[in-house]
Amino acid sequence: DGGITQSPKYLFRKEGQNVTLSCEQNLNHDAMYWYRQDPGQGLRLIYYSQIVNDFQKGDIAEGYSVSREKKESFPLTVTSAQKNPTAFYLCASSIESEAFFGQGTRLTVV
Amino acid sequence: DQQVKQNSPSLSVQEGRISILNCDYTNSMFDYFLWYKKYPAEGPTFLISISSIKDKNEDGRFTVFLNKSAKHLSLHIVPSQPGDSAVYFCAASRAGSARQLTFGSGTQLTVLP
């Protein structure tokens, strides 16, 4: 059963703490992405990776970090430097021009 | 600078009628356009796409029209069904290395029974 799995679905974090969001895919896609969704806004690109051990900043990378040690995995760390981390985070992978999304992680800073 | 714009945040349509969702873009380098549908607390799912070499693509009840000169595309849903109620995102990409998608802000479609 191929797809993209994000975990956890809901995550609570205390202010000042780093937190890592998991994204795993078994679609054998080279490219993976992290987006953030805020109310009234589109999906904004945080980071993307075209290949293992390589990743690039998107439009809103400040306060985030990623790694791509394996083709299947693209974890996103929300650091304490991110000023407004409460949001819905979406991971995607793509082949050619079509992206496939995970179910998302709702991060709430308390 | 929003390169992909969906100027209508919401749209209500009666069941059985046509839903028309609009999207404008500013970057003439975009050559591939997609529509995604999203339910609350779920990831977007791909709906339909169109390449810039075409002006229309149809898939069942869904048709996407592209007007390159106006940098405008639209999604038509006929007939609209209550299950179509969701947020619809327009997205665009351009040829190049990452092929990352640039999304619009979304339109909440509500189909009334």
Nearest Cα of chain A lies from the Cα of B105 at a distance, in angstroms, of 4
Rounded Cα–Cα distance for residues A36 and A92 (Å):
11
DSSP β-bridge partners for residue A54: A51
**CA end-to-end span of chain B, whole Å?**
38
Among the partner residues A41, A56, A101, nearest to B43 by beta-carbon distance: A101
Cis peptide before B79 (omega within 30 of 0): yes
Total residue length of chain A: 110
**CB-CB contact of B57 with B32 (8 Å):** no
pLDDT digits (tens, 9 = 90+) for A22-51: 999 999 999 999 999 988 778 899 999 989
Taking only the tens place, the pLDDT of each residue in B33-48 is 999 999 988 889 999 9
The length of chain B, given as a count of residues: 113
Q: Using the beta-carbon criterion (under 8 Å), do A94 and B99 form an inter-chain contact?
A: yes
Q: Which two tokens stand for residue B87?
A: 């947020």
Q: Please tell me which residue of chain A has the smallest CA distance to B93.
A: A97
Q: Do A97 and B89 touch (CB under 8 A)?
A: no
Residues A44-103 have pLDDT tens digits of 999 999 899 999 999 899 999 999 999 999 999 999 888 899 999 999 998 777 788 999
The two tokens of residue B19 are 């839903």
